[in-house]
Amino acid sequence: MILAGITLFNPDVARLEENISSIYGQVDRVICVDNGSDNIKSIEDCVLKNWKNITIIKNGKNEGIAKALNQMFEFAIEQQYEYVLTLDQDSVCPDNIIEEYNKYLDEHKLGSLCPQCVDRNFKSELNNEDVIEVDKCITSASLVPVSAWNDVGGFNEELFIDFVDHDFCAKLKEHGYRILQIGSVKLSHELGKGKKYSILGVKFTALNHSAMRKYYMVRNWIYYMNEHKDIINLKAEKKSYRLFFFKTLIFEDDKLKKMKQMLKGRRDGIELIRRIHEIK
């Protein structure tokens, strides 16, 4: 049985309704975990009016993405679901997602099935129908066996937001699980408010996240590179990390505010590594 779980934080209710409509008939049940949305009353009115087989968990405050994801899997264990399809609040699933995923549920050491993603801010044609093994994927529209989630210890709630997905994927790989990207499943996704730039013919994409998001991205990136250095492509990650600073400094607005938060994130990332290893 498959449970679909949607993480909520001040969602656009019309978009959420479209999201739920796209997946409701494909799975056995839907659960929404709300992280303290200001519009929770509108969310409840929409959900409870339109669908019967949906559960809403209200955290009352923003507990972070990792906590919400773990709550979905804990609910799945309680209700004896075998798989959880994790969704963002604005991700509208294709109508073939579960039909296609069902073809690969018997794959050896399956850790996650994920779609082929395209950023809706940029035009791109996705014609690849192949099934390929990948090192990481976003959580949205990923189908994870509850047994695999349990085996790796769930999502790291210390990370709160950003790199929660990549950290989980690295843990899957460290435990010998496989992550399969299903080319026949396409998902339109938005990564920040991206803009493209060019310097001397070299093209760059700057995502223009807020200063606070920049803080968490750097903090958790530091942790991710240290914690999983034996399983990830550390050289490539370090290059991307340096490029992230460069693009923020050269292309984005509010440079000073963002750089201050990013440097704070670097310091706190080092402290996070120390604190977690002390606990261990």
One pLDDT digit (tens) per residue for the chain, 280 residues: 999 999 999 999 999 999 999 999 999 999 999 999 999 999 999 998 999 889 999 999 999 999 999 999 999 999 999 999 999 998 899 999 999 999 999 999 999 999 998 766 555 555 577 999 999 999 999 999 999 999 999 999 999 999 999 999 999 999 999 999 999 999 976 655 667 767 767 776 777 899 999 999 999 999 999 999 999 999 999 999 999 999 999 988 999 999 999 999 999 999 999 998 776 6
Find out whether 174 and 120 touch, Cβ atoms under 8 Å: no
Task: Tell whether 143 and 201 lie within a shared domain.
Answer: no
Boundary residue ending a domain (149, 171, 189): 189
The CATH number of residue 77's host domain is 3.90.550.10
Task: Tell whether 91 and 207 lie within a shared domain.
Answer: no
Task: Tell whether 76 and 141 lie within a shared domain.
Answer: yes
Find out whether 82 and 2 touch, Cβ atoms under 8 Å: yes
Task: Tell whether 221 and 92 lie within a shared domain.
Answer: no
Boundary residue ending a domain (189, 207, 231): 189
Determine the 3-state secondary structure of 112 from DSSP: strand
Task: Tell whether 185 and 200 lie within a shared domain.
Answer: no
Task: Tell whether 185 and 127 lie within a shared domain.
Answer: yes
Task: Tell whether 254 and 185 lie within a shared domain.
Answer: no
Find out whether 132 and 181 touch, Cβ atoms under 8 Å: yes
- CA 111/CA 27 separation, integer angstroms: 19
Q: Sign of the CA dihedral 137, 103, 67, 153? A: negative
Task: Tell whether 138 and 247 lie within a shared domain.
Answer: no
Task: Tell whether 50 and 107 lie within a shared domain.
Answer: yes
Cross-strand bridge partners of residue 115: 182
Task: Tell whether 58 and 173 lie within a shared domain.
Answer: yes
Task: Tell whether 69 and 92 lie within a shared domain.
Answer: yes
Q: Which amino acid is at 64?
A: G
| Residue found by looking up tokens 């507990």 in the block | 63
Residue 279 burial (C-beta neighbours within 10 Å; 0-12, 13-18, 19+): exposed
Name the residue range of residue 223's domain.
195-279
The model's pTM is: 0.92
Boundary residue ending a domain (157, 174, 189): 189
Determine the 3-state secondary structure of 99 from DSSP: helix
Task: Tell whether 173 and 252 lie within a shared domain.
Answer: no
Number of domains comprising the chain: 2
| Residue found by looking up tokens 């992230």 in the block | 244
Determine the 3-state secondary structure of 127 from DSSP: coil
* Nearest Cα residue to 46 out of 23, 73, 22, 20: 20
Residue 264 burial (C-beta neighbours within 10 Å; 0-12, 13-18, 19+): middle
